[in-house]
Amino acid sequence: MGNHNTPFSLSLDTKDVVIVKPSKPTPSQILSLSTIDNDPNINILCQTIYVYKPNLNSPNDQKDPASLIKEALSKALVYYYPLAGKITTLDDDDDDDEKLGINCNGDGVPFLEANANCELSSLNYLEGVDVPTAQKLVFDNPSQDQTSPYPLVFKVTKFLCGGFTIGMGLSHSVCDGFGASKFYRALSEFASGKNEPSVKPVWERERLTLKKTSLKEEEKEPFKFLVDETSLATSPFLPTKEISHECFNLNSETIKRLKMKLMKEVDSDEYHNMMKESFTITTLEALGAYVWRSKVRALKLNNDGETLFCLAVGVRHLMDPPLNEGYYGNAFVASNVVLKVKELNENPLFEAVKLIKESKKVSMNEEHIRNSINMLEMMRRRKIKIEGRGASLVLTDWRQLGLLQEVDFGWKGSVNIVPVPWNMFGFVDLCLFLPPNNLDPLMKGGVRIFVSLPKASMAKFKEEMELLKGMKVDEDI
């Protein structure tokens, strides 16, 4: 997603909003959300666009995609009935503060249908699409802070070629990426004629909810952040309203070269030890470290300030017993690394990779998960919301969600998936790793890196990405 111009202006003929209700009666109840769901930083509607080419060999092409999806949605909502309700605030018995919950009233999901004035190919299947064009393809959410009383909204746009896009807005308070992909898969199963989803959803939010008693002692303590606010690095480009959003494609060859170069930074003793432990560098660790440093350089963060690398780590399988496969709530904690800007900039990048690897290990035990949940609850009670200041990189990896290849509505899998920028941590701290689109065979095994930065700093970040692409194995990183 770039700021370069789309060759012409996309115009849409949009019908009136219809409300899609569950196809059968559903339970009427109030459900509580978990402590992780209640993190105020994720109370936003996350909009994503899925792009489908026309499939000329398919009998489904005689069907109208919007009607097909509407019908499938109505069936899926019988199982995912909380998504047909409204997000509400519940009074907490002990405290005077409020928590989020869902009023399952079966009200239904707002659904828009539109026709576009062009073929999808003329927008290059949304590869490198500019933000204003992307925003036309999702349900308009007029709220300034991107919150919404609806947990779910839809917009299906048909193009002249017979291809279409599905713009899905889903409340991050209700689902994380895995949860969203489970729901989306269920939707496609109903669209392709199944009578029930292969994975039945479960609520079970109490599994990740803090027990009331566990906070009494800690509440007397002053709240401690990982990094003292005053020691966080600052950028001359922030605060600003001028934000650029870009998506960078890195192919598997570039990633392989980066990993080889990182291994070259290791001295021979350490290398032997690593070989004994069959040490490997993952794509996430190598690119995570490189993007972190590139961002620090692009933002010109002050050398003596601290910078934070924060990775969202899924905990579904780490719980004892593991969460049910149908759990679709937020189930991740942060794995964190803190460094002085000077250290990240001047030490071998391999050092940052090692720290990221270690922090992932630490976050993979139940105690870390419980501590994270405690901390989130303390922050919620004290109304502490993290403002994006550029000193942190919050990284979310979407490559394992199976959203591109495996979700087929009868038009084959989507060829592209495009996040519409989310105002989480003021845009600038968030970074997404996305699977490559299915348009370019050379990108197989590659990664798309989606970042939002102050306009004035984007050129430097691009330069760092170009350096990576052109890098030879025997050069210094």
Catalytic: 408? yes
Of the residues 172, 245, 368, 429, only one is catalytic, namely 172
Of the residues 37, 39, 397, 408, only one is catalytic, namely 408
Could you tell me if 68 and 158 are in contact, meaning their C-beta atoms sit under 8 angstroms apart? Answer: no
Classify 33 as helix, strand or coil: coil
Catalytic: 245? no
Classify 446 as helix, strand or coil: coil
Q: How many whole angstroms separate alpha carbon 274 and alpha carbon 225?
A: 33
Classify 454 as helix, strand or coil: strand
Helix (H) or strand (E) holding 464: helix 455-470
Backbone φ and ψ for 171, nearest 5 degrees, come out as -70, 125
Could you tell me if 88 and 202 are in contact, meaning their C-beta atoms sit under 8 angstroms apart? Answer: no
Q: How many whole angstroms separate alpha carbon 432 and alpha carbon 395?
A: 6
Using alpha carbons, select from 394, 399, 398 the residue that is nearest to residue 335.
394
Contacts of range 87-93, beta carbons closer than 8 Å, 24 or more positions apart: 87/148, 87/149, 87/150, 87/151, 87/171, 87/173, 87/174, 88/30, 88/149, 90/30, 90/32
Q: How many whole angstroms separate alpha carbon 31 and alpha carbon 345?
A: 47
Q: Mind telling me the catalytic residues?
A: 172, 408
